[in-house]
Chains A and B, each alone.
Chain A
Amino acid sequence: AQTVTQSQPEMSVQEAETVTLSCTYDTSESNYYLFWYKQPPSRQMILVIRQEAYKQQNATENRFSVNFQKAAKSFSLKISDSQLGDTAMYFCAFMESNDMRFGAGTRLTVKP
């Protein structure tokens, strides 16, 4: 079974600085998808970024980028120029054949 591990339960960063959230996963599959979701206090789950395992190029979405290391089964999220609105729980997710598994989440606080 696939497992997703987020080793940082909580993190904080100063506004405008950069922070990296870690995620590792375990799988024997070669084709899969990886995602980062954000859950602010409103509890809405918001897709932040996605990565297809067959793509070597790291995905980027504005201030959000990933460092995908397939051999190491690592998928970290970098948030640049952190904003107060980035304060939220961040979940790493692994999906193969429509079966999505989530990590336990990292609570990120952006401090003014």
Chain B
Amino acid sequence: DAGVIQSPRHEVTEMGQEVTLRCKPISGHNSLFWYRQTMMRGLELLIYFNNNVPIDDSGMPEDRFSAKMPNASFSTLKIQPSEPRDSAVYFCASSSPGQGRHEQYFGPGTRLTVT
């Protein structure tokens, strides 16, 4: 299995621009999670999906952030407009709790820099 795939691995953009991060979960996993990691706040859960449906988006910082999961094999996290304080590493993770497997497997992360 290829594991969780994220793209791009690095993104540098200017303030005000739209940023889209992409994630492909492990095949067969029905839960998908988006996290943000910063030095100041550590790892924070932004939103998670079960069977493509958003379950808890209470961690999404502002309306500038949105996430979608149009099908079981693809999800996006969009920031519009981006701001310098959005600079962080964004991780996607997936799991299969319906099969009793609650551990989450993480992608390699996207390092976002907003200048």
B3 to chain A, nearest CB (A): 9
A33 near B102: Cβ-Cβ < 8 Å: yes
- On whether the beta carbons of A44 and B108 are closer than 8 Å, the reply is yes
With A98-B97, A99-B45 given, is the CB distance from A35 to B109 under 8 Å?
no
Assembly CA distance A46 to B71 (angstroms): 26
Please provide the chain A residues from 39 to 59 with a CB less than 8 Å away from any CB of chain B in the complex: 42-47, 50
Contacts of A47 in B (CB 8 A): 103-105
Q: Is residue A95 within 8 Å, beta carbon to beta carbon, of the partner chain?
A: yes
Q: Is the interface of A mostly helix, strand, loop or mixed?
A: strand
Interface hit among A10-18, A19-27, A77-85, A100-108: A100-108
Contact A98 B108 (CB under 8 A): no
How many Å lie between the Cα of A91 and that of B109 in the bound state? 16
Count A/B pairs, Cβ under 8 Å. Answer: 47
Q: Are B109 and A43 within 8 A (Cβ)?
A: yes
Q: Tell me the minimal C-beta distance from B30 to chain A in angstroms.
A: 11
Asked whether any CB of chain A lies closer than 8 Å to the CB of B75, the reply is no
Tell me which residues from 81 to 96 in chain B have a Cβ below 8 Å from any Cβ of chain A: 89, 91, 93, 95
Beyond the given pairs A33-B103, A98-B95, A104-B42, 10 more chain A to chain B contacts, judged by CB atoms under 8 angstroms and listed by A's residue number, are A33-B102, A35-B104, A45-B106, A50-B102, A98-B50, A98-B56, A98-B97, A101-B45, A102-B42, A102-B43
